[in-house]
């Protein structure tokens, strides 16, 4: 069905053109429906290219080429009509659509996160392979907090009380927020999201949603739409929803675990768990090489899935977050977990990304590292038995260390593109400099009258 007929049949009055920036923040334009259709026909949808250089604080990280920065040329937006969906929760019937950016000469704008993931997908396509991804996304509900100097606190539920202790998988605990959760599901269904299971996680008022396996770009789109829906629904219910990696000091962090499998593009069968001669454990050579690539390169690509200063506060062994790239069967202390599964469902769970990660870049990171492993036939280390926390930390401890390692990771940078990698590094260094200029309450508390 054409976009014109789709919009007419649903009585759509406005269309949101969604553009994910480098931090996974949704930017874009809102058009009257007829104006959108006309702009789509004549190719006049445009936006300043500088939106891809915005920091999380809303500032522009200057281009290395100052002349280009001052000119701030437009990019042309081409709506991905396959993503056209109803946008729930608006008085005026509204739809949304993701758009891809192109230079005025017709080439894809190569620092756009959606394109970066598509570029990685092309590597697999050329090899006759098709990755599948299923995220598990955690988030917290909190009381409304308008003072950034004050700690966050869990909200009151239907009982009128706030949670004070862990409630993992608690059914009574999750029904405390039943009305809010039902609204989230209603809006998600209207927006055609492919959700699976919601559970109560270990933190106070911490929830987790599982997505069904799907195409990496489509799934990444869905993660961003889900985040937006949850935040909007939470506000309507008088609470906040946050996807910060570590929003509260003494609570577990929030992750975006990624379950990844690989199928033969022609035959459609899982290539990670199809037994072959001499592979009695059900793990194929391509699976082992994929894991080997993750172990060798993911640590250097950490900023792509831990992009903020706060991301690294989550990576602590006492709070169910990995600190290294060990792998093991059904072992949640490992950064790379092999869930219990039949060979035809074999997958690797990457437990490193935080909920704050840009899904396109987090998925691109795991896929590009796995691709290098397959291409170079990298053998993984032996699986660990027992706690992986007994092994040395191999992940960066800070964003600064992570960016240093990423700047030297030539194999990953070559495949993602130097223009993108330089722009990403530039944005993150700008954010880091802003953070390092802030004096924290800890410093005032412990140093003010003592040193």
54: DSSP letter: B
Predicted local distance difference test score (pLDDT) of residue 280: 57
Q: Are residues 272 and 400 in the same domain?
A: yes
159-177 per-residue burial string, b: 16 or more CB within 10 A, e: under 16:
eeeebeeebeebeebbebb
Are 103 and 220 in a shared domain? no
pLDDT value at 238 more than 50: yes
328 within a domain of the structure (yes/no): yes
The residue-averaged pLDDT of 168-179 equals: 83
Residues 40 and 94 in one domain: yes
Among 107, 139, 170, give the residue marking a domain's end: 107
- DSSP per position, 154-212: PPB-TTS-B--S--TT-HHHHHTTHHHHHHHHHHHHHTT--EEEEEE-SSTTEEEEEEP
CA–CA separation, 344 and 335 (whole Å): 22
Domain membership of residue 451 (yes or no) is no
Q: Are residues 18 and 155 in the same domain?
A: no
* Highest mean pLDDT pick, 64-73, 118-127, 171-180, 312-321: 118-127
Whether residue 174 contacts residue 223, with contact meaning beta carbons closer than 8 Å, is answered with no
Q: Let me know if residue 113 belongs to a domain.
A: no
Residue 290 domain-assigned? yes
For the record, the structure tokens of 133 come out as 């991804």
The predicted-structure confidence for 263-292, as pLDDT tens digits, reads as follows 999 988 999 986 545 545 678 999 999 999
- Find where tokens 């802030």 sit: 438
Burial of 427 (0-12, 13-18, 19+ CB in 10 A): buried
CB 252 within 8 A of CB 320: yes
Expressed as residue numbers, the domain containing 168 is 121-444
Q: Which of 44, 79, 107 is the last residue before a domain boundary?
A: 107
Same domain? 292 vs 160: yes
Q: Say yes or no: 142 and 26 in one domain.
A: no
pLDDT tens per residue across span 205-225: 999 999 999 999 999 999 999
What residues form DSSP beta bridges with 60? 54
pLDDT tens digits, residue range 347-371? 999 999 999 999 999 999 999 999 9
pLDDT of residue 279: 47
Question: In angstroms, rounded to a whole number, what is the distance separating the alpha carbons of residues 136 and 349?
Answer: 10
| 116 within some domain | no
How many angstroms separate the CA atoms of 77 and 427, rounded?
22
Q: Are 223 and 135 in contact (CB under 8 A)?
A: yes
Q: Supply the pLDDT for residue 351.
A: 97
Q: Tell me the pLDDT tens digit for each residue of 42-73.
A: 888 999 999 999 999 999 987 555 555 567 89
Please check whether residues 275 and 372 belong to one and the same domain.
Answer: yes
- Report the distance separating Cα 225 and Cα 223, nearest Å: 6
């Amino acid at each position: 069905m054409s976009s014109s007929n789709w919009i007419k049949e649903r009585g759509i009055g406005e269309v949101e053109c969604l553009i994910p920036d480098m931090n996974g923040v949704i930017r874009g334009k809102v058009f009257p429906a007829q104006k959108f259709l006309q702009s789509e026909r004549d190719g006049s949808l445009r936006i300043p290219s500088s939106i891809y250089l915005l920091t999380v604080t809303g500032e522009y990280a200057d281009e290395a080429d100052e002349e280009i920065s001052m000119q701030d040329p437009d990019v042309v937006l081409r709506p991905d009509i396959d993503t056209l969906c109803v946008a729930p929760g608006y008085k005026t019937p509204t739809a949304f659509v993701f758009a891809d950016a192109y230079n005025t000469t017709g080439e894809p704008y190569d620092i756009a996160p959606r394109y970066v993931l598509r570029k990685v997908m092309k590597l697999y396509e050329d090899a006759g392979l098709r990755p599948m991804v299923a995220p598990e996304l955690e988030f917290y509900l909190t009381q409304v907090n308008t003072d950034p100097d004050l700690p966050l606190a869990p909200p009151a539920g239907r009982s009128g009380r706030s949670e004070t202790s862990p409630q993992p998988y608690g059914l009574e605990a999750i029904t405390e927020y039943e009305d809010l959760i039902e609204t989230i599901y209603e809006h998600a269904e209207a927006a055609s999201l492919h959700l699976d299971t919601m559970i109560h996680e270990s933190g106070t008022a911490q929830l987790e949603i599982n997505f069904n396996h799907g195409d990496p770009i489509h799934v990444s789109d869905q993660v961003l739409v889900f985040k937006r829906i949850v935040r909007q629904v939470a506000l309507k219910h008088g609470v906040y929803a946050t996807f910060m990696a570590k929003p509260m000091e003494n609570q577990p962090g929030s992750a975006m675990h990624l379950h990844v499998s690989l199928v033969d593009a022609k035959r459609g069968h899982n290539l990670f768990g199809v037994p072959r001669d001499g592979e009695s454990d059900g793990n194929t050579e391509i699976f082992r090489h994929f894991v080997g690539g993750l172990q060798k390169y993911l640590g250097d690509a950490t900023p792509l899935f831990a992009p903020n200063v706060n991301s690294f506060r989550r990576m602590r062994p006492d709070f169910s977050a990995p600190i290294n790239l060990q792998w093991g069967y059904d072992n949640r202390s490992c950064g790379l977990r092999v869930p219990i599964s039949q060979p035809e469902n074999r997958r690797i769970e990457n437990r490193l990304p935080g909920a704050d990660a840009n899904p396109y870049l987090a998925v691109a990171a795991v896929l590009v590292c796995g691709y290098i492993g397959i291409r170079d036939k990298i053998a993984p280390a032996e699986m660990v038995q027992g706690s992986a926390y007994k092994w040395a930390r191999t992940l960066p401890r800070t964003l600064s260390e992570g960016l240093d390692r990423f700047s030297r990771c030539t194999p990953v940078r070559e495949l993602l593109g130097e223009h993108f990698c330089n722009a990403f590094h530039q944005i993150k260094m700008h954010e880091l400099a802003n953070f390092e200029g802030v004096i924290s309450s800890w410093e005032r508390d412990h140093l003010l009258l003592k040193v």
